[in-house]
Structure 1
């Protein structure tokens, strides 16, 4: 609903204008009226309307003077002049103050409808930008570009907020997720269009990318506690999940009745996404759900732990791996939460290394789970990791292979690289080469590729005439320009646009 203030010194004309506006477009609500410019100025400061319709000739303060006074306000409403034929020169003068339009009295209803439609589109675009700014501030700490007192007014059309978490593949638990093959799942499958097909005015949907490109938060602004289309939307997501080459995680959030509640509920939803993501399988759940599965439930009891320790000491590694894979098969059968799989895998590595705790090994488990999303791949790579840790000393001949991998990255970093494709090309475990790469070059493969891409992007930003940020993003290997911009800022301390402006300002 858009808030309107009508200003005219003739009460009868004022009532006619109010009736015409309400008849032309029910989305516009007249919240107040005024008979002179002074009264109108106070109402504008107090009520902060979205639109004002004002006459030019009024007592105490005329319309032109009122427009001049409005220029000092931090937020200026859209202004429409109500004009008579004899006031045409005044109306032209008013246009200097960024007045959107003027309409002649008496008001022509069809022209008013067209004008209100244009105003509605402008306000929706401006309001949506402000709403996204606030939500990105909540999610990522983006600087607010709107005043605090304006926040509630831009969301005032909604009685409730309903949030949904959606991600593809594994929950990203490692910063080395450069090679995640499903970063662009959102754009590939047009999931935003699926949501917007159900969501009609006055409802609104906001799509926020999470910390990683394969996860999204969808926030619905609604007028009922639960959207009536939720079941139909869930069923369509379920149908879509059968077509995907990787698992989908959908977690329904809570219904929030205020922005402060929404902020807390989003924190709960993010925490739930860590606990409720089930590795290797599609799942639909509610953020209030609690998973009670334990290590004992998947067969890793105290007695099994003792058996594994004995096997590790006295039997060939292949026997140990056979027992390990049986545990992973149980995980798959019981649709094990990812956090429980991580815990199990780290416990197994402790057995292999004779209880020698290693942060590096734990990071390798996190990276392996992050960059796989089915048990077959996970078991294969984890088995390679166990074989490598069982061997002593480390295979020095792999140093040459790591050097070859670095050269390959140097020549192909703008392409869609994947951890799996590189490991297969060079016949080496993905987790192992990541550790050796960092050991030899003091930087992870992920960070190395990011640095190469950002340096390339800096050179492309200097080209004139300038390339678009989207084009540069694609040219350096990122399909998502927003993700690219975030990486650029994390690496360079400023956005790509600010970097280009700074360089050109020095010339």
Structure 2
């Protein structure tokens, strides 16, 4: 990513250059300027070879805000950030109206700067993925020059495939996954020119775009297989799906969509796998015949459940899960089986208020995401079905006891949400399975335990940012229970709508 630095104080400029060079790949300082007029000349010279502009506000000739306005009107693909020692919200308001990436206050913190560059780089990658036809990049663009090479794309899914957001993956695990993936790719650096990691909406899935020269392209399938073998030794479960078609600048997004749809249909439950998706692949999924083979077993299971034969239901469910494990089964097919089973077991009792609260789709998704094996799948299902059976046998279904239990769990989370805590830790503490704990939370709070913990942490962060303006974002993140400042900033922006720094500046102004 090519960076233009604009700063009129030599010591600060040297500090910025030192930090960015220290960060290494993929950051490159293409030019520097000490005033706004010189910066404009450089921008007109390099045009879209510049990917990121970091400028001070108070610079000679043309100030930083005017410079950003000039850039946005002529080169909208350039990402801009403001650097300033002025903690004045009027500056912030104008900068935000210009749609800058962020507003960084002096003195510069190395970690804050590094996080800014990561955000800018990730935003640049996502530009490729989210646009059907990417505009604003000409043949002179550094990215365009690289993209003129041969391109292939991979989907890498770590753990279970999630149909929703990242609510099932804890922060620490997500960071470990990403760092392990990056370090693994660096082991194979000589087998490709460059790569871009594009994170999906959930933290389980990554799209990796590779550029190859003609000679490397001949062996890229072998390289993909080697990459999968290495990853499968580092993760308990990983799926790698490669597209056999070459990617061009305007087909990145369609390729991602194809890989996502293919994964949705083909990924296996609780099993690592390597797959190749070719352009001739049959677009329909042969799940109807597969489903019809098991429908008799599902109907028989539901009869045992509805008759209140708890032990028989347990035994037959165990046989059913074992039979699926021997195949193994596609995750989507398994989801259809479980959704059918939940529906058949609950439909006759929907006149009970407590049964009406059961949301089969959410329960099935929770079970799939919180089960790391067929054995844990069985344990999660048993705990949930036993609870539903108790509710059906007695309309109150121990609701009072469940309410008391939930209040105890809620109190525990409120006392420990800033600690290292996740759904599994809480479930183990109270003797539940993770899937049952998630069901209990959906019943009483309409959200998952992870989402509740995030809410508490972000509310704590807002309180700290409001009452302690001297605290850095890193300190606030740590006090709220986040080890990773970048991850904290993303969660904060997702829930609040603005970055922690912008929120803090707004609170300072209002006070």
Listed as ranges, the gaps of 5+ residues in structure 2 are 3-39, 51-66, 76-115, 351-355
Task: Please show how residues 329-348 of structure 1 align to structure 2 within 5 Å.
Answer: 329-348=322-341
Residue 208 of structure 1 deviates from its aligned partner by 2.0
1:247 maps onto 2:233 in alignment: no
1:157 to 127, 146, 151: 146
TM-score by length of 2: 0.66
Take 1:327 and 1:201, find their aligned partners in 2: how far apart are those partners?
45
In the other structure, the counterpart of 2:422 is 418
1:308 to 301, 309, 321: 301
In the other structure, the counterpart of 1:116 is none
Q: 1:168 to 1:468 in 2, by over 3 A?
A: same
| Structure 1 or 2: more helix by fraction | 2
RMSD: 4.0
Residue 401 of structure 1 deviates from its aligned partner by 0.9
CA contact (8 A) 1:177 1:370 kept: no
Take 2:140 and 2:458, find their aligned partners in 1: how far apart are those partners?
38
In the other structure, the counterpart of 1:194 is 184
Take 1:341 and 1:228, find their aligned partners in 2: how far apart are those partners?
35
Take 1:304 and 1:433, find their aligned partners in 2: how far apart are those partners?
27
1:282 maps onto 2:272 in alignment: yes
Task: Please show how residues 27-426 of structure 1 align to structure 2 within 5 Å.
Answer: 48=47, 74=74, 132-139=122-129, 148-150=136-138, 153=141, 154-158=143-147, 159-175=149-165, 177-178=167-168, 183-184=173-174, 186-187=176-177, 190-200=180-190, 203-224=193-214, 226=217, 228=219, 230-232=221-223, 234-244=225-235, 246-288=236-278, 294=287, 297=290, 300-314=293-307, 316-354=309-347, 360-391=359-390, 392-393=393-394, 394-396=397-399, 397-426=401-430
Take 1:49 and 1:412, find their aligned partners in 2: how far apart are those partners?
49
Answer with 198-207 or 320-329: which moved more: 198-207
CA contact (8 A) 1:298 1:330 kept: no
Question: Which is higher, the Rg of structure 1 or of structure 2?
Answer: 1
Q: How many residues align?
A: 396
CA contact (8 A) 1:174 1:370 kept: no
TM-score by length of 1: 0.67
Residue 353 of structure 1 deviates from its aligned partner by 1.7
Take 2:322 and 2:479, find their aligned partners in 1: how far apart are those partners?
42
1:489 to 486, 489, 493: 493
CA contact (8 A) 2:166 2:204 kept: no
Residue 194 of structure 1 deviates from its aligned partner by 1.7
Residue 409 of structure 1 deviates from its aligned partner by 0.5
Take 1:260 and 1:395, find their aligned partners in 2: how far apart are those partners?
57
Deviation string, structure 1 residues 204-252 (Cα, Å, up to 9, x no partner): 11112221223222111333383635524532431442343x3111111
Residue 416 of structure 1 deviates from its aligned partner by 2.8
Q: 1:294 to 1:356 in 2, by over 3 A?
A: farther
Q: 1:253 to 1:128 in 2, by over 3 A?
A: farther
CA contact (8 A) 2:299 2:341 kept: no
Take 1:478 and 1:250, find their aligned partners in 2: how far apart are those partners?
30
Take 2:426 and 2:128, find their aligned partners in 1: how far apart are those partners?
37
Q: What SS is found at the alignment partner of 1:417? A: coil
Take 2:139 and 2:506, find their aligned partners in 1: how far apart are those partners?
31
Listed as ranges, the gaps of 5+ residues in structure 1 are 3-40, 52-69, 76-125
Deviation string, structure 1 residues 81-101 (Cα, Å, up to 9, x no partner): xxxxxxxxxxxxxxxxxxxxx
Q: 1:504 to 1:137 in 2, by over 3 A?
A: farther
Q: What SS is found at the alignment partner of 1:331? A: helix
CA contact (8 A) 1:308 1:351 kept: no
Answer with 218-227 or 340-349: which moved more: 218-227
Take 2:323 and 2:140, find their aligned partners in 1: how far apart are those partners?
50
CA contact (8 A) 1:173 1:367 kept: no
CA contact (8 A) 2:335 2:365 kept: yes
Take 2:139 and 2:402, find their aligned partners in 1: how far apart are those partners?
57
Take 2:121 and 2:448, find their aligned partners in 1: how far apart are those partners?
37
Q: What SS is found at the alignment partner of 2:254? A: helix
Q: 1:349 to 1:152 in 2, by over 3 A?
A: farther
